[in-house]
Structure formats: structure tokens, C-alpha cells
Copies of this chain bind each other. A is one copy, B any other.
Amino acid sequence: MADQNQELRKAGLKVTLPRVKILQMLEASEQRHLSAEEVYKQLMEADEDVGLATVYRVLTQFEAAGLVVRHNFDGGHSVFELERGDHHDHMVCVESGQVVEFHNEEIEALQEAIAEKHGFELTGHSLVLYVKPKA
């Protein structure tokens, strides 16, 4: 818990109840990928009185601070994931919504090479595989 306060302070954010609660939620949640709405609902269930607007604001701040990564999977809403320092991409099952993480160095390297070849510098990427259970 002190760690969290550290992280918040390091990010230049005041240690407030909503921020701590949200950070705890992200760390404790079974699902590593949560939408703002899901974070909000879980806070409500835990009887934490935090407004949805605050959830959005805090998640956006966390993103800017690098504590959290935002993904835009198909479906019109963002999902947030705690930054654990291990870069990875995602596989989303189109039937169950299940999210699987993976990392592949070859792909990473190829991306760099492709950007390079076109005269660009890679600043980021988004790779999502849409999959379904093997027949």
C-alpha cells in the first residue's frame, strides 16, 4: 500500500482516496483488462463512493503517468491495464471476449524494421489478434 502511494507521488499526483482505490482495484482484479465502466462498477460493489467521471479522470492521469496502458479493442470503448513493465500484445476471442496476452520478439523487430524502411521512427504500436476457439 505504501508502494502505491509512492507510485502516485512519483507521478506527481496527490495521494487521494479515489486514486488509491482505483490503483488497488487494478492490482487486485482478476481481469487484467478493465473498462472505465467496469472499474466504476467494481468500486460501487466495494462500497467505494467514487464518481464515474473521476474514474475516467484518474485513469487518464494514470495513463499519462505511465502507470496504466489504454487499449482500444473493437467495440467502441477503451480498456485499461496496469503497466507491469512487460510489453505484450493481445489476442481477443470474438466469442467469449477472453483476452490472452502474448509477446513475440520477431514481430517486434519486424515492426521496427518496417517503420525504418519507410523513413519513420516507431513510437508505438497496437496489435490485436481476433480469434475463436479452434474448431
Residues of A within 8 A of B (CB): 72, 74, 91, 93-94, 100, 102, 104, 106-107, 110-111, 114-116, 118-135
Contacts and interface: CB of A to CB of B under 8 A. Distances in A.
Contact of A121 (B114, B116, B120, B133): B133
Nearest to A74: B72
Contact of A93 (B72, B100, B120, B135): B120
A64 to B, nearest CB: 15
18 contacts: A72-B72, A91-B118, A94-B124, A102-B118, A107-B107, A110-B110, A111-B129, A114-B129, A118-B131, A120-B129, A120-B132, A121-B132, A121-B135, A122-B130, A123-B130, A124-B129, A126-B127, A126-B128
Contacts of A129: 111, 114-115, 120, 122, 124-125
Contacts of A102: 114, 118
Nearest to A129: B125
B107 A120 contact: no
Given A74-B72, A110-B106, A114-B102, A130 B124 contact: yes
